[in-house]
Structure 1
């Protein structure tokens, strides 16, 4: 094939791909690191007087996921004596019926028992509820230890009927196990519900049979079993994977790394910029978990908007061949570290018993993810250079232009969210 035709084919392919990706992305909401719709279920496993027990903190909809899922599919109202339909000026909503729960505790306990299935060696364990309570909303204190879990379950239930979507149920299950210290798996006993846009579900799993306890996370509604084995090595590897997964799935982080690679290429300066970015995000990731960041309601959307602005800056700087200084990318790293901390707060929880190893593993995972993105970018550049070197400049400019347009869209969208939070 003549060189000119190779260049034309490469350009057509590159710009078609860029247009397609942008069209797909612009039809989706900008991904943020933190969502008020994140629902967390905590499961703490312990051994008490030779008995295997599990303390569970679950959002109320997960306790009724079978009914909610059926209602969503059939487009019918929820049907349960433990739920009360309430009509307001803005529409209908449900509340937990505390009176009905008090009158028929055994049926409610059966629902709690069947919400999760625990098993060992492939055999399901019989379970019995040893106590439960209901909270109007998720308590500030988490199940960071066995004593904290015991205290939470012992709290009295509310006198008022809590909103179904905000209520949280704490309960403790005694499991009939011949090996209380053995490997345990847990899965959902009910069918899944449809979370809806902007809502994510995570599970914090804590093995308090170890000293100190070991924690890990599992996404989703546990349709597939999650294993609790007390292995610190597997837990460390789990959070390394979570860190790598987050930067790869976080499009704003991916695009920033790509602009860094396209801005300076495989040069010594790229090492300096990546190192500065790494130091910056490591500082804020750790500082946030030590409580050194504000809790103002507008802070998270402001950071998200600033992260989008940093991607725009990096893209424009690369386009005009001014890649930025080490100091600038240290500041950008500080911003992105806050974004990383928001998602880690969701998947881990700031009261996790082994926070320091998890932070370290998550940070290592982020660095591995960065290296993977850089390697992929350089591979594409090498492929284009071999295919049609004259196409490199227009393809590079097209990619950076697309990144600039997309980040501008994110800035507008996130600033709109910031206005509503003030």
Structure 2
């Protein structure tokens, strides 16, 4: 009877291990942060008794309907304001500045229609007041009315900029009956399909209040973003963003699961989680405030180190050697770097309300971390009470699958380090 039970446990262990390995292998090995984030900035302020929106946008988003149609139909991109050229690596497009000059009104119409502003469900009349075309994203950020006005006053590039790298600043005057009420912002064009590894974020600045409020919205604004002037809702927004990014970061999720499976619901778990939290809080704040090396291999090296930390946590849990407080504080330092890169992409390091956003984002990370721990420990508790023979194989199978996947990540990301050196 005992031998039969052992065989059943081993069979369960093998089945669960294989199932977990297949499941995890199907998940992309993305890190906490994307290196291809494209940011559109929208600043709304009161000016001259009305509302004005200053927009800084990657040029492809202004032509997203045309780009998306060309992608779907597999045909060349066609616009009177773009010209195609052939290079040694293939075909690319440039903004034809002479065509823009010839048909300035048509180009302004395209810019004006790119975003729709609404209040109480009604679209607001709007008119474009000026634009400038940059060959690449300007260093000066749009963090207030004066900065936005200065950016718009710059002269457009005289050369035809590469379409994918060009950035356009423009201003829209909005006819609003109540400038202080909530404003909805949505895209006026159909979305394009971002390339592999490319994400689109919107950095929203509500300069109707002082100091201005910053928030973010993902994607191409098919779903309207809302500016409500509320500091509480903005704070809660970044709490949500912190929760979202920890739950979407598979390597961090697996690290927390491995930690919970290695220590269980014990006092030591509290110590290790606290050390990990302090570690990632330090680097999240310090790195976001500018203490980041600019070496090209730095980000790939951080990715590889994060993957290695997941591998360590899984192996340590399998052999019942959970590690020390200092070890997990160091692991926290690594993961904090990843979180800072995420927040840097979506918010920007020169946001006007940086410290409240940092605090809220960090709180969201902790809430997400506690959710992962709670779910993991609840599953362990249920297996222990209802299906004791399955607990050990489920635990070892899960940890082994995490170890295999993280080993693959280490090898893959080390390749990125080598190529960046």
TM-score after normalising by structure 1: 0.96
Do structure 1's residue 253 and structure 2's residue 252 form an aligned pair?
Answer: yes
2:106 aligned partner: 107
Deviation larger for 34-43 or 328-337: 34-43
2:228 aligned partner: 229
1:177 aligned partner: 176
Listed as ranges, the matches of 1:337-348 within 5 Å are: 337-348=336-347
2:334 aligned partner: 335
1:58 aligned partner: 57
C-alpha distance after superposition, 1:286-327 (max 9, x if no partner): 001221121211111110100000111111111111100000
Question: How many pairs align?
Answer: 421
Cα distance in 2 for partners of 1:53, 1:7 equals: 72
Cα distance in 2 for partners of 1:273, 1:366 equals: 16
Listed as ranges, the matches of 1:62-73 within 5 Å are: 62-73=61-72
Listed as ranges, the matches of 1:7-406 within 5 Å are: 16=15, 18-406=17-405
Cα distance in 1 for partners of 2:344, 2:104 equals: 34
Cα distance in 1 for partners of 2:9, 2:375 equals: 18
In structure 2, the CA distance between the partners of 1:17 and 1:217, relative to structure 1 (3 Å rule), is farther
In structure 2, the CA distance between the partners of 1:103 and 1:264, relative to structure 1 (3 Å rule), is same
**Conserved? CA contact 1:10–1:388, under 8 Å:** no
Cα drift, residue 140 of structure 1: 2.1
Cα drift, residue 388 of structure 1: 2.1
In structure 2, the CA distance between the partners of 1:254 and 1:156, relative to structure 1 (3 Å rule), is same
**Conserved? CA contact 1:317–1:324, under 8 Å:** yes
Cα drift, residue 343 of structure 1: 0.5
Question: Aligned to 1:317, what secondary structure does the other structure show?
Answer: helix
Cα distance in 1 for partners of 2:377, 2:10 equals: 18
Question: Aligned to 2:78, what secondary structure does the other structure show?
Answer: coil
Supply the RMSD in Å over aligned alpha carbons.
1.9
In structure 2, the CA distance between the partners of 1:148 and 1:411, relative to structure 1 (3 Å rule), is same
C-alpha distance after superposition, 1:122-165 (max 9, x if no partner): 11111111111111111222211221111111111111111111
**Conserved? CA contact 1:3–1:388, under 8 Å:** no
Cα distance in 2 for partners of 1:28, 1:322 equals: 28
Question: Aligned to 1:33, what secondary structure does the other structure show?
Answer: coil
Question: Aligned to 1:38, what secondary structure does the other structure show?
Answer: strand
**Conserved? CA contact 2:296–2:420, under 8 Å:** yes
**Conserved? CA contact 2:31–2:250, under 8 Å:** no
C-alpha distance after superposition, 1:217-259 (max 9, x if no partner): 1101100111111111011111101111111110111011111
In structure 2, the CA distance between the partners of 1:112 and 1:242, relative to structure 1 (3 Å rule), is same
Cα drift, residue 394 of structure 1: 2.1
Question: Aligned to 2:210, what secondary structure does the other structure show?
Answer: coil
Cα distance in 2 for partners of 1:314, 1:266 equals: 16
In structure 2, the CA distance between the partners of 1:377 and 1:101, relative to structure 1 (3 Å rule), is same
Cα distance in 2 for partners of 1:14, 1:221 equals: 45
Cα distance in 2 for partners of 1:149, 1:268 equals: 52
**Conserved? CA contact 1:263–1:323, under 8 Å:** yes
Cα drift, residue 13 of structure 1: 6.8
Cα distance in 2 for partners of 1:121, 1:3 equals: 70
Cα distance in 1 for partners of 2:104, 2:5 equals: 74
In structure 2, the CA distance between the partners of 1:98 and 1:20, relative to structure 1 (3 Å rule), is farther
Cα drift, residue 380 of structure 1: 0.8
Unpaired runs of 5+ residues, structure 1, are: none
**Conserved? CA contact 2:20–2:397, under 8 Å:** no
Cα drift, residue 20 of structure 1: 3.8
Question: Aligned to 2:94, what secondary structure does the other structure show?
Answer: strand
Cα drift, residue 104 of structure 1: 1.0
2:415 aligned partner: 416
